[in-house]
Amino acid sequence: MGRLGKWIEPFPDGIYVRPADAWIDPSQPKPNALITHGHGDHARGGHGRVFATRETLAIMDVRYGEQAGTPVGYGETIRVGEVDVSFVPAGHVLGSAQIVLDHAGERVVVSGDYKRRPDPTCAPFVVTPCDIFITEATFGLPVFIHPDTGSEVDRLLHRLHAEPDRCVLVGAYALGKAQRLITELRGRGHGEPIYIHGALERLCRLYEELDVPLGELRLATGLPKEELKGRIVLCPPGALNDRWSRRLPDPITAMASGWMRIRQRARQRNVELPLVISDHADWDELTRTIREVAPTEVWITHGREEALKHWCMMHQIKARELNLVGYEDEDD
Ligand SMILES: [Zn+2]
Ligand SMILES: [Zn+2]
């Protein structure tokens, strides 16, 4: 018996699957790319051929122009070179997938980014037993336990209703977080129009085209302050403190991110109302997932690798760090 997964080669700019002559989430343009999801640190433009879910391809089309894409549905298996490749839901954002690779009697699952909590905007994570599980570790420390999403959304609504002469301005990533927050607000009974920064418009529209209803959205730009009092306004995190936000009526600055668990990060962005809402697995979700997937080996792509590696070793699972570069965990 040789070493497991000899045919999978991690390089700093991505994971190379030799018998498929294809790269997973490469940070440089490659002839063949298998893409887990649409976030900018995983999906980049300029590849020859792209294999991804229909939703991920649609997101890439919006961001980079039309892709030479081969859509692969969840659960469908395609042959790439000498490898059977299938895509399984990862529960991270719309269209996000784990990539399952079968070759030489071995199964390798590349999870991409994932979470285990319910998200009304995407299909839930599917546990796929395998020999090697390649995982992220963005929140791979035992201190990272995300609170219940519903109670975070309730805190937002409570604050909004307590100060009707102000607005709540929430920083949220344009892909995934913004749409999830809108949908969670709808689910908690907030039926009023939600105002959005122009940078969120295209992806919100795309989500609706892909059958994720968001309710009434209005562009927040160029409106009288009076209209925005008592309203929720969403913008990309970068716009929270810029000139754009000065036109809003005395905004209560909020941000939806797993990093809001760290006070210092909230302070850096002048966030008055930190909302701990993450699209990544917390410590319990990471370790529960590894337990359920029950792999022989765990390979860790990025994040806080040390603690998770240690946990694996304590549980008799071989673990290694891949030290991939270019994955920012900002899409949290
Ligand atoms: Zn991501
Ligand atoms: Zn990522």
Cα 23 to ligand 1 centre (Å):
17
**Residues forming beta bridges with residue 182, ordered by sequence position:** none
User: Collapsing DSSP states into helix, strand and coil, what is residue 157?
Assistant: helix
Q: Report the C-alpha gap between 21 and 15 in whole angstroms.
A: 11
Ligand nearest to C-alpha 138 = 2
Cα 230 to ligand 1 centre (Å):
31
Ligand nearest to C-alpha 137 = 2
HSE value, Cβ hemisphere, 13 Å, CA-based, for 44: 18
Cα 240 to ligand 1 centre (Å):
21
Cα 92 to ligand 2 centre (Å):
10
Cα 92 to ligand 1 centre (Å):
7
Cα 249 to ligand 2 centre (Å):
34
Q: What's the burial of 220, exposed, middle or buried (CB within 10 Å: 0-12/13-18/19+)?
A: buried
Q: At what angle do helices 305-314 and 283-293 cross, to 10 degrees?
A: 40
Q: What is the pLDDT along the chain (332 residues), one digit of tens a residue?
A: 579 999 999 998 899 999 999 999 999 999 999 999 999 999 999 999 999 999 999 999 999 999 999 999 999 999 999 999 999 999 999 999 999 999 999 999 999 999 999 999 999 999 999 999 999 999 999 999 999 999 999 999 999 999 999 999 999 999 999 999 999 999 999 999 999 999 999 999 999 999 999 999 999 998 999 999 999 999 999 999 998 998 999 999 999 999 999 999 999 989 999 999 999 999 999 999 999 999 999 999 988 889 999 999 999 999 999 978 777 665 66
Cα 329 to ligand 1 centre (Å):
7
**pLDDT at 1 (0 to 100):** 52
Cα 227 to ligand 2 centre (Å):
36
The pTM (predicted TM-score) of the whole model is 0.95
Closest by alpha carbon to 172, among 138, 195, 139, 141? Answer: 195
Tokens of 151: 């109670």
Strands (E), 35-114: 49-52, 69-71, 77-80, 83-89, 97-103, 106-110
Q: Contact 138/332 with Cβ under 8 angstroms?
A: yes
Cα 204 to ligand 2 centre (Å):
20
Cα 229 to ligand 2 centre (Å):
35
Cα 220 to ligand 2 centre (Å):
28
